[in-house]
Amino acid sequence: MFAGDKAMKPATLWRTIGIALAALLAASVSAQSDTVRLNKLIDLFEQDEPAFGLLSFDYSLTNARAMANSGLDFILIDMEHAPFDVERLRAFLLGMTSKRSILEKGNLQPDVVPFVRIPAAGGADEIIAQAKQVLDVGAYGIMFPAIQNREQAELAVRAIRYPQINGVDDYEPQGLRGRNPSNAVWYWGVRDYHVRADVWPLDPQGELLAIMFVESPEAVANIEEIISVPGVGGIFIGPSDLSTSMGYTSPAAPEVEAAIQRVLAACLEHDVPCAITS
């Protein structure tokens, strides 16, 4: 080991070894992240395993750290009933990043996957804009409230997708998402974000989930056509809104339970993941 004509000093030697080890660790994490799926929830879906999560309205960094160490599978950050504040969302997502976990696991898969429920109010332009802003800071999927029919589900999927390259098998439904995800690239920690940021299961390698909230009699009646939309990654039943929209004060009403069971049966028949709040 030489540095000119003089032996390398101990401090320089240790600094060199430290840099080399850091480079090896970074290379190891990068290599494993190229093969390990980033979206833990999709991993669980593909293994037919249940997933458990929490609905949160708290954007604080204290809550971000608590959620990252909670042992849950996912967190649903509510921007429908809480303020639609993308800057606070970005800080929250960064606050959920556990460097210790990344080092111990050797990959970039979050222990607790962050999803966002957007307001989805207004027309198509508002929904597309909301989806783009949330995804561009790094969310791993969106839960769309009050989906009523196939057309709305198709718009939701298209809002998440980038426009596809000509000739690919999964060209349709064509994406509407604008391309400038520098914050998401940083947060995910991958170079090939544009390749990975597609909807599962339409793209089997996709890392994004488009989840449809079923909260009305219309949605229940149209559940088969909603879940048949390519790119729908799951159904989330909202029992409180569903019971209210059906004219009942409680989800325990037999008619509401029958509607919930109809949605569940359709999801089971078509092998679509289904969730409900407890």
Q: In what order do the strands lie in the sheet with 53-56?
A: 53-56, 74-78, 113-117, 141-144, 209-214, 232-237, 274-276
Residue pair 232/210 in contact by the 8 Å Cβ criterion: yes
Tell me the mean pLDDT in the region 103-114: 96
Tell me the mean pLDDT in the region 233-242: 97
Express each pLDDT in 145-170 by its tens digit: 999 999 999 999 999 999 998 888 88
Residue pair 158/175 in contact by the 8 Å Cβ criterion: yes
User: Rounded distance, CA 240 to CA 157, Å?
Assistant: 25
Residue 149 has a pLDDT of: 97
Residue 22 has a pLDDT of: 45
270 is catalytic: no
Which of 144, 260, 122 shows the shortest CA–CA distance to 209?
Answer: 144
The 8 Å CB, 24+ separation contacts for 176-179 are: 176/128, 177/128, 177/131, 177/132, 177/135, 178/132
Express each pLDDT in 218-232 by its tens digit: 999 999 999 999 999
- The DSSP code sequence of 116-159 is EE----SSHHHHHHHHHHHHHTT-SEEEETT--SHHHHHHHHHH
Express each pLDDT in 127-141 by its tens digit: 999 999 999 999 999
DSSP β-bridge partners for residue 208: 199
Active-site hit among 12, 13, 17, 81? 81
Tell me the mean pLDDT in the region 186-206: 95
Cα(first)–Cα(last) distance of the chain, in Å?
Answer: 64
Q: Which of residues 18 and 128 earns the better pLDDT score?
A: 128
Residue 26 has a pLDDT of: 46
* pLDDT band for position 182 (cuts 50, 70, 90): confident
Instruction: Report domain 38-276's class.
Output: alpha beta
User: Rounded distance, CA 15 to CA 253, Å?
Assistant: 68
How far does Cα 43 stand from its chain's mean position? 12
Of 19-33, 68-82, 118-132, which range is least confident? Answer: 19-33
Residue 34 has a pLDDT of: 59
Express each pLDDT in 51-61 by its tens digit: 999 999 999 99
In degrees and rounded to multiples of 5, residue 109 shows phi and psi of -70, 120
Tell me the mean pLDDT in the region 236-242: 97
Domain boundaries, the chain: 38-276
**Structure letter (DSSP) for residue 203:** S
pLDDT at position 195 over 60: yes
The 3-state DSSP class for residue 16 equals: helix
User: Rounded distance, CA 45 to CA 235, Å?
Assistant: 13
Residue pair 180/258 in contact by the 8 Å Cβ criterion: no
Q: Residue 152 contacts by C-beta under 8 Å, 6 or more apart in sequence?
A: 144
